[in-house]
Amino acid sequence: MTVTSILNAMSSPDPGSARRRGGRRGGTADTRGDILRAAREQFAAGYEATSVRAVARGAGVDPSLIVQFFGGKEGLFKAVLDDAIRPAEGMTPVLAGGTGEIGPQLAAYFFGIWEDPVRRPPFQAMLVSAASNAAAAEVLREFVRDEVIARLSVAVGGGAGSELRAELAGSHLIGAALVRYVYRIPPLCDAPLEDVVGPVGRAIQGYLTGGVAAAER
């Protein structure tokens, strides 16, 4: 799989649907989707700035419905993140490909989310909000633990150091994305995507497979 094919496969299946305005849904069938779309738009302003009430207004539903569907603001944020990042859908093919190209494939999947104008805002909101908001930080911690470390550490052979190595790889992805898309520091923010995905992919490949032998002793 090439970087481009992975990026294409990972892009939003229907970016237009995200531009639908809240409150205009036709029926109740997609109420959950309407809530998620309204939430995605509002969480882009940050976790703290978003309220269940405002999301309900945006989706044209009663706030109690959001509590019923998602449990509350934290659950809603998690659902928005899952919808944007789709960790199972995105990581399963990467992990199924064996570990030989896992670094580059994982980097391509990850930066594909950031390059997508629909999927990037909630991901960015999580990282920015988690730096200053305790509830958002807890969501991020759970997300990294359950979706990133749990999947990756098994893929790279398990063992004592595999969780730390998986998280170190993730920390590099996070840092590179922040510098490129949030802090916007040249030349990383202006470099062609391939010039970033390639080197970062090779760097995290070292974490994910370089130490497998040692961890398996």
CB of 18 or CB of 215, closer to a copy of itself: 215
180, 196 Cβ separation under 8 angstroms: yes
Residue 168 interacting with a copy of itself (CB under 8 A): yes
Nearer to a copy of itself by C-beta: 23 or 175?
A: 175
Specify the residue, 53 or 145, whose C-beta has the smaller distance to a copy of itself.
145
Asked if 77 touches a copy of itself (CB under 8 A), the answer is: no
> By CB under 8 A, how many residues form the interface with a copy of itself?
43
Tell me how far apart the alpha carbons of residues 166 and 150 are, in angstroms, rounded to a whole number.
Answer: 9
Among 200, 201, 208, 209, binds a copy of itself (CB under 8 A): 200
> In angstroms, what is the minimal distance from the CB of 125 to a copy of itself?
10
DSSP per residue, 1-20: --HHHHHHHHS-S-GGGGGS
The CA–CA distances, whole Å, from 118 to 14, 69, 139 equal 10, 22, 20
Task: Find the binder of a copy of itself among 9, 44, 95, 137 (CB under 8 A).
Answer: 137
The letter for the amino acid at 72 is G
Identified binder of a copy of itself from the candidate list 51, 195, 214, 216, rule CB under 8 A: 195
Asked whether 3 and 104 are in contact (CB, 8 A), the reply is yes
Among 16, 26, 27, 187, binds a copy of itself (CB under 8 A): 187
What is residue 210's DSSP assignment? T
Which residue type sits at 178? L
